[in-house]
Amino acid sequence: MNVRELIADHGSPLWLADADLFSANLRAFESVWKGHWPQSRIAYSYKTNRLAWFLHRVERAGGSAEVVCLAEYELARRVVADPTRIVVDGPAKPEPLLTRAGADGALVIADSLAELERAAVAGVRRVGLRVAVNSFTGTPSRFGIPPAEILAAARAAAALGLSVRALSVHLVSTDFEATSGRVVVSWPRAPDEHAAAAALLARLASQLGLESHAIDEIDLGGGLPAASACAGHARAVTRALRDHGFSGGLLLEPGRAVAADAVDLALSVVAIKSLACGARCVICDAGTNFLPGALTGPPRLDVPGRRGPRSPALVTGPLCLNADVVHPCAQLPALEPGDLLLARAVGAYQQSASTEFGEARPRVLVSERGTWRPADDLHHRRQVERQAA
Ligand SMILES: Cc1ncc(COP(=O)(O)O)c(C=O)c1O
């Protein structure tokens, strides 16, 4: 079925999620890292896109979950067979999340000394320490514990009866630039930046080892590119780990790397007009309500089956807001109302961050072995869950 037929059957706009591509991305990503460091494991970053199909594919591939809130934890508990493989992250873990994670023996990555205390009270036993590193804009991280305080944190954890098993870092790909007040996205971060973070964690792990805190795992977080561009990162990171004497497990939390190109959004042209400045304005039925990432970087827009000369267009959404811009200057062919656009590779932080500001969220279709089905088809969903069990 082509996209036009899918839209005719299921309405516009429409999310199109390719579960097979997601799985292929995951397998390829894991194989690059395992090729360089056999004790690598993957905890997929649920917040990137928590479509059930993707989560089951991660479990089937032997990966697990990195979650940052109770809702994600509950999802992970339905999908991940062994809860001790779940990684609980985030700066504001609510009490019930800590209690559930503690009872299940999940690995809780502590964001601060105060959180170590809350975790101990909630019954958590296995913890990691998130190490704060500056973001790419130079802003000091508001996540984690400064490197100079890690040893003290490990001692405090031990005094609270917690076992420190991992050191964790995440090089953010989205940052808030304080000087300009702008949100900036920079992904992926360069191999040497990830290698420097790995070296820092390996050095800290060996310091902690001297005081009998046995660090089983270094958690490098996300911010890594997809498999096709990842070999240099894997080489640089694993060299840094070896050079600093670390030989334990390497935990990776990919988000964009595996989910971004697995989802497109099909949207339709509602109206076209010429603005006072002469610019062509193409008004569509989806905007920043469903593609909030367009506010920091426009998606690639394709017009399926349409050839011919292209010219610039301001592509806007349905909200009565001036900032509802999908693309400020897309090169598009001649269009008319009813034509279809495809916003490509919008699988990361778009569906999960979309809102119901305006119309209800679009339906989601999932493709497996070339067949598209609604994601809310419960019969199909149960089949997927049975296969994963
Ligand atoms: C702790 C942590 N791990 C992993 C990720 C996934 O990052 P990315 O999508 O850049 O791979 C994030 C995203 O913000 C994160 O906060």
Q: Is residue 359 part of a domain?
A: yes
| Ligand 1 mutation target, pool 44, 168, 173, most atoms within 8 A of CB | 173
253-304 pLDDT per residue, tens: 999 999 999 999 999 999 999 999 999 999 999 999 999 999 989 999 999 9
Same domain for 145 and 227, yes or no, is yes
The pLDDT value given to residue 188: 84
Same domain for 227 and 361, yes or no, is no
Contact call for residues 24 and 374 (beta carbons, < 8 A): no
Domain enclosing residue 328, as ranges: 3-16+261-377
Contact call for residues 268 and 13 (beta carbons, < 8 A): yes
Q: Is residue 383 part of a domain?
A: no
Same domain for 247 and 363, yes or no, is no
Same domain for 76 and 207, yes or no, is yes
CA 230 → CA 225, 233, 234, distances in Å?
6, 5, 6
Phi and psi of 370, rounded to 5°?
Answer: 80, 0
For ligand 1, atom 4, the nearest C-alpha belongs to 222
Residues lining ligand 1, Cβ inside 6 A: 45, 48, 66, 89, 170, 173, 187, 221-224, 253-257, 348
Q: What is the C-alpha separation between 89 and 92, in angstroms, rounded?
A: 9
Q: Is 126 helix (H, G, I), strand (E, B) or coil?
A: strand
Same domain for 181 and 271, yes or no, is no
- Pick the last residue of a domain from 197, 230, 254: 254
Same domain for 231 and 265, yes or no, is no
Q: How far is the CA of 311 from the centre of ligand 1 (A)?
A: 36
127-178 pLDDT per residue, tens: 999 999 987 777 778 899 999 999 999 999 999 999 999 999 999 877 777 7
- Pick the last residue of a domain from 205, 226, 254: 254
Beta strands in 162-258 (DSSP E): 163-168, 174-177, 182-185, 217-219, 249-252
350-377 pLDDT per residue, tens: 999 999 999 999 999 999 999 999 997 6
Q: What is the DSSP letter of 158?
A: H
Mean local confidence (pLDDT), 233-255: 98
Domain count within the chain: 2
Same domain for 268 and 367, yes or no, is yes
Q: How many CB atoms lie within 10 A of CB 209?
A: 14
Q: Is residue 24 part of a domain?
A: no
Q: What is the C-alpha separation between 21 and 28, in angstroms, rounded?
A: 10
Residue 258 half-sphere exposure toward CB, CA atoms < 13 A: 34
Same domain for 212 and 277, yes or no, is no
Q: Is residue 66 part of a domain?
A: yes
Same domain for 249 and 303, yes or no, is no
Mean local confidence (pLDDT), 190-213: 94
Q: Is residue 97 part of a domain?
A: yes
Q: For residue 96, which of 75, 71, 74, 70 has the smallest C-alpha distance?
A: 70
Same domain for 311 and 238, yes or no, is no
- Pick the last residue of a domain from 231, 254, 277: 254
Q: What is the C-alpha separation between 152 and 160, in angstroms, rounded?
A: 12
132-141 pLDDT per residue, tens: 998 777 777 8
Q: How far is the CA of 126 from the centre of ligand 1 (A)?
A: 21
Q: Domain holding 321: CATH number?
A: 2.40.37.10
Q: Domain holding 237: CATH number?
A: 3.20.20.10
Q: How far is the CA of 58 from the centre of ligand 1 (A)?
A: 16
Q: How many CB atoms lie within 10 A of CB 210?
A: 8
Query: What residues does 366 pair with on adjacent strands?
Result: 17, 373
